[in-house]
Amino acid sequence: MSLNADPAFWAAARKHLTRYGPSFESIIVERAEGSFVYDADGRGILDFTSGQMSAVLGHTHKDIVATVDRQMASVAHLFSGMLSRPVVTLAERLAALAPGLDRVQLLTTGAESNEAAIRMAKLVTGGHEVVAFAQSWHGMTGAAASATYSAGRRGYGPAAAGSFVIPAPNSYRPRFKHADGSNDWQAELDDAFELIDRQSTGNLAAFIAEPILSSGGILELPLGYLAALKRKCEERGMLLVLDEAQTGVGRTGHMFAFQRDGVTPDIMTLSKTLGAGLPLAAVMTTEAIEQKAFERGFLFYTTHVSDPLTAAVGVTVLDVVERDGLVAQAGERGDRLKQGLLALQQKYECVGDVRGRGLLLGLEIVTDRQSKAPGFELGAQIMDEAMRRGLSMNIVKLPGMGGVFRLAPPLTVSHAEIDQGLAIMSDAIEAASRTR
C-alpha cells in the first residue's frame, strides 16, 4: 500500500482542517528540492506551479536555507517600530531596480500589500472608488477581496463601496474586433471607461491591475495597453496600482513586467516571488505619493511589517537572481517551454491557445477549436493524468473561458526538466483524450 494512503494522517486531516478552496491532492508531501516535491513514497513530482506560484528559486535553495539559518540565529522578528539592516538593505535594493518607486514598505502577503496600496491611494487622492479587471485576483482581505472578481464574490455580503470592474483584454476571445478579427483593445478600454465615468460619483481613487492576469487565465495586457490605461487614470486623477505578485522578480523575462512597456505605475506591489516561498511582500511608490500619504497620517501597522528574517531572504533572492542571470534565463527557458506548448497545440485539437510571457504561460483547453467551447472536464482529466505521471500543474476554470493551465516553473528550471514536463503533458493529453 502507498504510504500516501496513511489512514491516521487523512483521518486527522478530515477531522481538523478547514476546507478553504479546491480539494486537497491525495499525496502527502514529505520534502521538496529544486523543481520537485517528493511524496511519502519518495516519488518526485515536477512542480510547474512553483509552490503557490512563489518558489522562483525552486524549493530549499541552498542560499535561502543559509540565509534563514543565519538570520534566525541573529534576529527574526521585532517590534514594528524598530528597524534592522536587512529591511533597509532590501528597500534600497528594490528602489534601485525600479527607478522612480523610491519608497518601500515590507509586509507579508499579496493581499496585505494590495490592501496597503489601496488604502494609500484612497488617502492620497481623497477618493474611495477602485476599478479592477473582471478576471482579477488581488487577495482575500477587505479591499483586496473587493477588487477580486475571478472567484469568491458570492455569499460574503456587500463588497467595499465604490468597487467597479471592467473586462480584461483577451486576444483569444476578443469582445471588440478589428476588421481582420484581431482584438481591438483600445475600443474595449474606451468603452469600459465610458461606463466607469457614468457610474462614478467623482471619487475615483485607483485602478489595480496585474500585467498578466494569472488566476484570470494568463491574460497578458497587450503592448500599449498599460500606457493607455495610465493615461485614463491620469485624466481622472486616479493612481495606477500594478500587482506584480506573480510577474515580479524576473518571471516574465524582465525584473518587473511593467518594464517591457516602459510605463511606471504610481504604486507597485510585490509578494510571492520576492520571498521565494516565504511570506514577504512589498509596496513601492514614489517619494511624492509617500510624502503626501505621510502628511495625511497614513497608517498601515501590522504584526510582521519590516520583519528582519523575511527581509534578509528577500535580499538573498535578489542576490541570486542577479548572480545567476535568472531574468535572462526566465526569458530563454520560457521560450523553450512556449515552443513546446505550441508543438502540443499543433498535435492536439483540444489545445485552443498558448499565451503568456517568460516562465508564466497559459495553455487553454477547449472541446472544439472553432467554437472555442470550454473544456473544463477534459482539462481536469488532463491534470489528473499529469499528476499520476509525476507533473503538478494548476488549472483555472472561469465562466466564458476554457480550462486554462497556469505554467510557472521555477526560474532555475533546467532544459531537461522542461522537456520532461512537456513529455508528461503530451502523454496526459493523449490519455485524457482517449477517454472522451
Catalytic residue ranges: 137, 210, 243, 246, 272, 406
239-243/267-270 β-pairing = parallel
Contact 284, 95 (CB under 8 A): yes
- Beta carbons within 8 Å of 109's beta carbon, 6+ residues apart: 139, 271, 279, 281
**Nearest one of 189, 269, 177 to 226, comparing CA atoms:** 189
Own/partner long-range contacts of 339-346 (Cβ < 8 Å, ≥24 apart): 340/418, 340/419, 340/422, 341/407, 341/422, 341/425, 343/422, 344/422, 344/425, 344/426, 344/429
Phi-psi region of 413 (alpha: psi -120 to 50; beta: other; left: phi over 0): beta
